[in-house]
Amino acid sequence: MTIESVDKVPPESGVSTATAKPKRTRAENLVLVRKVWPWLFLVLMVVVFSIASQQANNVTFLSFRSVQGILLYATQILLIGLGETFIIVAAGIDLSSGWVLGFSAVIAAQIMEALYAANASPIVTIGLGMLGGTLIAIIPGLLNGLLIARVKVPAFIVTVGMGFVVEGVALIRSGGYPVTHQPPYLSPLGNGSLLYYWPGHGITFFNMPPTATTEEFQSIIPLMPNVVFVAIIVTAICWFILAKTQFGQHLYAIGGSFEAAVRAGIPVNRVLIKAYTLAAVLAGIAGVIWTTRFTSGAYNAGETTTLNAIAAAVIGGASLFGGEGTIVGTIVGALIIGTITYGLVVLGVSPFWQFVAVGVVVIFAVIMDQFGRKLGK
């Protein structure tokens, strides 16, 4: 018998070496679950709230208006969560972003208030207000990055301290009260939609159909809220930065191994400064959007957003140890938190339970992350 004949599998055995696939091991199954569980959990939340709302209040949870409500709830969390994703991927943390949001909201509102009082045009008033509210956020973000990268102060300490600083400045600027004297055309911008669908009549752009009566307004459906559209554009840009640019790859390398990144010649300090500055700019955008939605600026506008945003990133697969995380995952995490929040509102449950629910989900996400690490990912 030749060596070749030993290596061949007899035809009658029914086994094909070309088509035989090794069975997935238990470890591989757990790793797969770790990757897909946020999607499964999101679907589960939708099913649970759909059944519960129908039984409790005879309300249809899964509707077009409900989806828009969830998106609006998730928008602010997502914008902050995008910045947290950049930083967490690099094994950092930013606990000041919620306060930067409130600081930017106050500055944007005060700029628009002053320009409106000076009879400036609507374009100048809103444009400079939004620009000023966004750019002012660069200052705390840049300081965070410099202190963390150059002075080597722990990120936790720096960002907590910076949060207190920007909160104090916002309080001094606003006197502790919301900045409410805003131009009347601000609310339609923040609460309007790019498209409106009027059943039986068609689609209008930017404005509600002028011929519709007050009673008919109830049947008109806003197809794309302005703030959701802005969030989609910003999210697409962030996805491209993290997934397709050298800067994004450097963040993964730093989070994977700081020492290896340094030895590889990556400008670690410069990358970290950029990451914290970018996260602050995203918080500034969120603050400006908050001002347009609520036609005011409040120092505590993002009081609970920071932890929710970090939770969204972690739920979506970002590891607090660094080196892992995606923009798509953060989107799913933000949608999960938005679904929980909106679902509890529909059911008439106290919003305080939102913190309990989100906390449980975050703990589960961290446990899944630990499973993945122990199993070698």
Residue type, 218: Q
CA within 13 Å, CB half, 33: 14
The model's pLDDT over 339-352, given as tens digits with 9 standing for 90+, comes to: 988 888 888 887 77
The model's pLDDT over 264-281, given as tens digits with 9 standing for 90+, comes to: 999 999 999 999 999 999
Query: pLDDT at residue 31 above 70?
Result: no
CA distances in angstroms from 169 to 13, 45, 78, 144, 172, listed in the order given: 78, 40, 25, 16, 5
Higher pLDDT, 20 or 166: 166
Banded model confidence at residue 332, pLDDT cuts 50, 70, 90: very high
Stated pTM of the model: 0.87
The model's pLDDT over 147-203, given as tens digits with 9 standing for 90+, comes to: 999 999 999 999 999 999 999 999 999 998 999 899 998 988 888 888 877 776 767
Q: Which residue matches tokens 């929980």?
A: 340
Query: pLDDT at residue 41 above 60?
Result: yes
Helix axes 327-347, 305-315, angle to 10 degrees: 120
Interior/surface letters 123-140, b for 16+ CB within 10 angstroms, e for the rest: eebbebbbebbbebbebb
Tokens of 17: 């070496």
The count of other CB atoms within 10 Å of the CB of residue 20 is 8
Query: Secondary structure of the chain in the HEC alphabet?
Result: CCHHHHHCCCHHHCCCCCCCCCCCCHHHHHHHHHHHHHHHHHHHHHHHHHHHHHHHHCCCCCCHHHHHHHHHHHHHHHHHHHHHHHHHHCCCCCCCHHHHHHHHHHHHHHHHHHHHHCCCCHHHHHHHHHHHHHHCCHHHHHHHHHHHHCCCCCHHHHHHHHHHHHHHHHHHHHCCCCECCCCCCHHHHHHCECEEEECCCEEEECCCCCCCCCCHHHHCEECCEHHHHHHHHHHHHHHHHHHHCHHHHHHHHHHHCHHHHHHCCCCHHHHHHHHHHHHHHHHHHHHHHHHHHHCCECCCCCCCHHHHHHHHHHHCCCCCCCCCCCHHHHHHHHHHHHHHHHHHHHHCCCCCHHHHHHHHHHHHHHHHHHHHHHCCC
Q: Where are the domains of the chain?
A: 60-179+247-374
Banded model confidence at residue 204, pLDDT cuts 50, 70, 90: confident
Q: How far apart are CA 160 and CA 16, in angstroms?
A: 61
The count of other CB atoms within 10 Å of the CB of residue 290 is 27
| Bridge partner list, 28 | none
* 59-63, 121-125, 282-286, 308-312: range with lowest mean pLDDT: 59-63
Banded model confidence at residue 63, pLDDT cuts 50, 70, 90: confident
Q: In what order do the strands lie in the sheet with 221-222?
A: 202-205, 195-198, 221-222
Residue type, 313: A
